[in-house]
Amino acid sequence: MSETILEISELCTRFNDAVVHDHVNLDVLRGEVFAIAGASGCGKSTLLREIILLQKSSSGSIRVFGKELVGLDDEGALLFRKRWGMMFERGALFSSLNVLENVGLPLREHTGLSGGLIDEIASIKIALAGLPPTARFKYPDELSGGMRKRAALARALALDPELLFLDEPTAGLDPLSASGFDELVLHLKHTLDLTMVIVTHDLDLLWHVADRVAFLGDGHVLGVGTMNELSKSGHPLIREYFYGPRGRAAWEQSWKQK
């Protein structure tokens, strides 16, 4: 049996009268790429923000590495944040810092390493993310969208996380850049033995990268399984998602690659 690294139980989220999550239950196993999918507004990013302690749920339990996160104080939360990495959808890079400084920032904040060693480690992470050495001294506004994503990924890897969260990692990328990011995710999974949780609406990424997918809708988890399993679901929201024109195209492309 694989170890459960993330467990969500009976999670509820309400904003006044609006119900976002209604008794959501999920588990993520060590070493897998677990994706959270669903239509826009279904609560994917809200769920991710609750997991990484940027937002509070109304009730329920979130356990990571076997420990309860709900109710943690700032000091307790910091201990967990050192063990996971987070790549935000728009990168969240500091515009006044170059790539090397952005990637090295978590090391400067959370370790006592020398500046030279931090730059060396940051350079390794930048290379792992698929960026050329020349990118180290560029500022965020000098980077393409795809390069900003990779710089944000390098920063998320800075502290050698056990668990990596990616929020819409291919959003806004052209097809070639998105495909390259898919390959990078797979490479990092196998090279670093990472567990990843990805929030995405990118059907190509779901077919090509995810080991399992949770599909959210109407405040509930409507299905969990491999993409092949979900594609056979009889639930109307899941079928609409997978059997629209874009869904069929992504499915056909996935089979061409096998």
Give the model confidence (pLDDT) of 163-205 as tens digits: 999 999 998 888 888 999 999 999 999 899 899 999 998 999 9
Residue 258 domain flag: yes
Helix or strand holding residue 38 (H, E):
strand 33-38
Instruction: Output Rg (C-alpha) for the chain, integer angstroms.
Output: 18
Q: Helices H, strands E: what count in the chain?
A: 10, 10
pLDDT tens series, the chain, 258 aa? 579 999 999 999 999 888 999 999 999 999 999 999 988 888 899 999 999 999 999 999 999 999 999 988 888 888 888 999 999 988 799 999 999 999 999 999 999 999 999 999 999 999 999 999 999 999 999 999 889 999 999 999 999 999 999 999 998 888 888 999 999 999 999 899 899 999 998 999 999 999 999 999 989 999 999 999 998 888 888 888 887 655 545 545 544 554
Give the integer Cα–Cα distance in Å for 79 and 97. 25
Confidence (pLDDT) at 255: 46
In degrees, rounded to 5, the angle at the alpha carbon of residue 8 between the alpha carbons of residues 169 and 189 is: 40
Helix or strand holding residue 207 (H, E):
helix 203-209
One domain for residues 77 and 174: yes
Q: Is 92 left (phi over 0), alpha (psi -120 to 50) or beta?
A: left
Write the single-letter amino acid at 208: H
Of 108, 128, 160, which marks where a domain is finished?
A: 160
One domain for residues 243 and 144: no
| Per-residue pLDDT reduced to its tens digit, 210-224 | 999 999 998 999 999
Q: Which of 191, 188, 192 is nearest to 209 (CA)?
A: 188
Q: Which of 160, 184, 60, 36 is nearest to 110 (CA)?
A: 160
One domain for residues 152 and 192: no
CATH number at residue 224: 3.40.50.300
Of 160, 175, 201, which marks where a domain is finished?
A: 160
One domain for residues 37 and 126: no
Residue 3 domain flag: no
Give the integer Cα–Cα distance in Å for 167 and 155. 14
One domain for residues 169 and 244: yes
One domain for residues 79 and 207: yes
Residue 20 domain flag: no
- Count of alpha carbons within 13 angstroms of residue 59, beta-carbon side: 6
One domain for residues 225 and 258: yes
Provide the number of structural domains found in the chain: 2
Helix or strand holding residue 185 (H, E):
helix 175-192
Q: Are 227 and 207 in contact (CB under 8 A)?
A: yes
Q: Which domain holds residue 205?
A: 30-58+72-83+163-258
Of 132, 160, 188, which marks where a domain is finished?
A: 160
Question: How many residues are there in the chain?
Answer: 258
